[in-house]
Amino acid sequence: MNSVAFAPRRPLPGLVEPGLPATALAPMQDVTTLPFMRLVARHGPPDWFFTEYFRVHETSRLDAPILASITENDTGRPVFAQLIGESVADLTRTVRELQRFPIAGIDLNLGCPAPKVYRKNVGGGLLRDPARVDEILACLRAECAGRFTVKMRVGFESPEHFDALLDSVNRHGVDLLSVHGRTVREMYGPVVHYDLIAHAVRRAQCPVLANGNVTSAAAAQRILAETGAAGVMVGRAAIRNPWIFRQIRERSAGRPVFQPTLADVRAYIAELATATADPAVPDRIQAGRLKKFLNFVGVSVDPDGQFLYQMRRAEGLGDLFAVCDKFLLADGHAAEPFPDEPHPGLIARPNREAAACSLYG
């Protein structure tokens, strides 16, 4: 590996296996809840977790379910609290509140590409205004008694402000930078600018995590070699494959890499069902919640996409589990290996991602 080691001003939390590239589960709204963190940890935890973002504005308060992913977290792994907002006063107030809890650090979201987010000039929208970003970083660095980290994209429309943003990261002593190698406008398109992540690795004075299409342990190895990053941040690939962090460590260490079977995937789906269960809501709604995760799992089940087709049309949990059993357990499927990568041409969220031609952030 060509990963780069740094000595941050505030040492980062310990790795699962020192000497190997760092891994982190990317913050994903409505996904990286406490039950999902626990589930991933059981299959081989990342080095670090990041919460869903706390929305910060004039009347905001700490969201109780997100806060629970910090205060009730029993995974044994450090958890960074992510914020999204643009009001310096409200961001600093929220940092003070969060520092009363057992967080690994504060993370600022400068990358969310959702139009409803960036139109409010938060998340990826702030990348249009590097002077404003510099002001926010200065204030948050002054307020953070512990670690302060940033997750960002390479720009909004283009990388024209990328160097200025990286210089702000250096100027204000950011302890860890996660770089998603696309612009905000590129959403989750097919191209990831690993050359720009490599540029960030060279220019930044802190460790850099590479983010973008880290779909497997083999992909992580290629990306680390290409960018020289200190580690990788994995997003929706971890929904499809909760063993990915274990696999990255095994491959990096030259050990045999765990290969899940379709039976393992069926057991994982049962765990997902438990993690998303809510007896207070109708069966149909519970099935709908589980389908959001199965959309990602399903892109590696069969190359023809029949699992996705039939799963999406299941009426309730019973029908949904019957489809899972048919494709994952029946007719000798149980012992088949679960592919490391998605099958070409299959899309997890057709309505949102068909135009982007990609699944993974």
Domains of the chain (ranges, CATH numbers): 22-252 (3.20.20.70), 262-353 (no CATH)
* pLDDT in the model for residue 170: 97
Q: Report pLDDT digits (tens) over 86-99.
A: 999 999 999 999 99
How large a percentage of the chain has pLDDT more than 90? 91
Over residues 33-55, the mean pLDDT reads: 98
Nearest to 298 by CA among 332, 327, 260: 327
Residue type, 158: S
Q: In this predicted structure, what is the pLDDT of residue 359?
A: 36
pTM: predicted TM-score of the whole model, two decimal places: 0.93
Q: What is the per-residue pLDDT for 293?
A: 97
User: What is the pLDDT, as a whole number, of residue 351?
Assistant: 53
**Per-residue pLDDT at 10:** 81
Rounded to 10 deg, the angle between the 130-143 and 162-171 helix axes is 20
In angstroms, what CA-CA distances link 124 with 117, 238, 295? 8, 22, 25
CA dist 102 → 73, 336, 360 (Å) = 10, 42, 30
**Residue 190 confidence class, pLDDT cut points 50, 70, 90:** confident
Active site residue 112: yes
pLDDT at residue 6 greater than cutoff 90: no
Say which of 112, 144, 206, 324 is annotated catalytic.
112
Count other C-beta atoms under 10 Å from residue 303's C-beta.
Answer: 13
- Residue 3 binned pLDDT confidence (cut-offs 50, 70, 90): very low
Burial of 175 (0-12, 13-18, 19+ CB in 10 A): buried
Q: Which tens digit of pLDDT belongs to each residue from 108-149? A: 999 999 999 999 999 999 999 999 999 999 999 999 999 999
User: CA–CA separation, 271 vs 11, rounded Å?
Assistant: 34
Q: Angle at Cα 171 formed by Cα 169 and Cα 176, nearest 5°?
A: 35
Residue 1: the pLDDT is 40
Cα separation of 107 and 144, whole Å? 10
Please report, rounded to a whole number, the percentage of residues in the chain having pLDDT higher than 70: 94
User: In the prediction, which pLDDT does 357 show?
Assistant: 31
* Ramachandran region, residue 224 (left: φ > 0; alpha: ψ -120 to 50; beta: rest): alpha
What whole-number distance in Å separates Cα of residue 352 and Cα of residue 115? 12
